[in-house]
Amino acid sequence: MAKYKLKVNGKMMEAEVDPTTPVLWVLRDHLNLVGTKYGCGVGSCGACTIHLNGKAMKSCQLPIAAVAAQEITTIEGLSESGEHPVQKAWLSLDVAQCGYCQTGQIMAASALLKSKPHPTDEEIETAMNGNICRCGTYVRIKQAIQSAAKNAHQ
Amino acid sequence: MRKITTLLFATLLSTICLSFVQTSAPNASIQNGKKVYETYCISCHMENGMGVEGAFPSLVKTGNLSDKNRLVKIILLGMRGPLIIKGTSFDGEMAGIEMTDKEVADVINYIRNTWGNKAPLVQVSEIPAAKIAVVKGYQPY
């Protein structure tokens, strides 16, 4: 066990865990941030996507020892009021069906728009490739990202 | 005479253009390998191949990609640490990915010919033998 001081959603938090513990479980079991979901556990589905220094990252395969003082953002910290352009687009287009994957989808989409404010269809597909939606809402996900990109700059 | 000169000029021009296209066009396998990489590998090894320090190894300018048999096994069967790359220790896990032999060859060709890496192209026909080859020290997922 080791004690880690983590910067999560702009706040300093502490967790005493084994260095190999994936960030996903530190967030969910130790910091009570359960918005980030467990899906496959092997970095293949994207349900556990968070931001590490603003970049989308699968937290289920990321050991806590690799994070150190880097900045973690979870769905809870994406915006205080839930009014991030991607979240607003998600609601207005009724993107979610069962909703299990949407945390990861929103985190991946928001990281994409941060690095590429006006992504092409191909860039959206590339960035969202690692996020699976078993309900098959891909068309609405893409529309929501396009809508968020448009509305964020109005 | 003027017609012959024009014809010769046109032939010469098209030859130059064609040779330019052949040398500058990226290899189809590498091009398709980029798509495979973006589908299966990018979320851990990142768009620039740099990975994440301490978690996911970098694929940039590394000599760790030289053994194609090992790469085939890692891609299809996954792997377990510990391993040391450029002095950094990694002790994570990678699950194997179900791919066709063509996808495996293409993604290997992309990784081994991008980010400062250079290696001969792997042919699809080489993959079945690589799958059953014995690779010393390799630990599947």
**pLDDT attached to residue B18:** 47
Query: CB of A51 within 8 Å of any CB in chain B?
Result: no
Q: Which residue has the higher pLDDT, A154 or A16?
A: A16
User: Which residue segments constitute the domains of chain A, with CATH numbers given?
Assistant: 2-77 (3.10.20.30), 85-151 (1.10.150.120)
Tens of pLDDT, residues A80-109 = 888 999 999 999 999 999 999 999 999 999
- Among A3-17, B14-28, B80-94, whose mean pLDDT is lowest? B14-28
Q: Which residue has the higher pLDDT, B62 or B17?
A: B62
Superfamily of domain B27-132: Cytochrome c-like domain (1.10.760.10)
User: How much of chain A, in percent, has pLDDT values that exceed 90?
Assistant: 86
Return the residue in A18, A52, A57 with the most chain B beta carbons within 10 A, the one to mutate for interface testing: A57
Give yes or no for a contact between A4 and A64, defined as CB atoms under 8 angstroms apart.
yes
DSSP string, A101-133: THHHHHHHHHHHHHH-SS--HHHHHHHHTT---
Domain boundaries of chain B, sorted by first residue:
27-132
Q: For residue B95, is pLDDT > 80?
A: yes
Give yes or no for a contact between A62 and A42, defined as CB atoms under 8 angstroms apart.
no
Number of A to B CB contacts under 8 A, please give it: 44
Contact between chains at A130 and B42 (C-beta distance less than 8 A): yes
Strand A71-73 relative to strand A2-8: parallel, antiparallel, unpaired?
parallel
ipTM above 0.90?
no
Q: Which residues of A touch B55 (CB under 8 A)?
A: 61-63, 66
* pLDDT mean across residues, chain B: 84
